[in-house]
Amino acid sequence: MVKTTVILRNDLYDLLVKKHGRRKISETINEALEKKLLKPKKSMFGADPWLNTKNLRDEEEHESL
């Protein structure tokens, strides 16, 4: 991590504090910059980001039953 100084407009700062709190300003700015500057990560399942491996069962566990 690198510490730096960012100069924000008053209205943007107030909005950040109101929506995310003072302690999450850096995290929020990092996420916004990442979305804007970096390529989006593609899901291993293609274009459907809602389709993921969460809650999939392991078939080997059920074969022994």
pLDDT tens, position by position, 6-62: 999 999 999 999 999 999 999 999 999 998 898 766 655 565 667 677 777 776 666
Confidence at residue 7, expressed as pLDDT on a 0 to 100 scale: 95
> What would the two tokens of residue 7 be?
């100069």
- Listed residue (27, 1, 2, 5) closest to 16, CA to CA: 27
Q: What is the pTM of this model?
A: 0.55
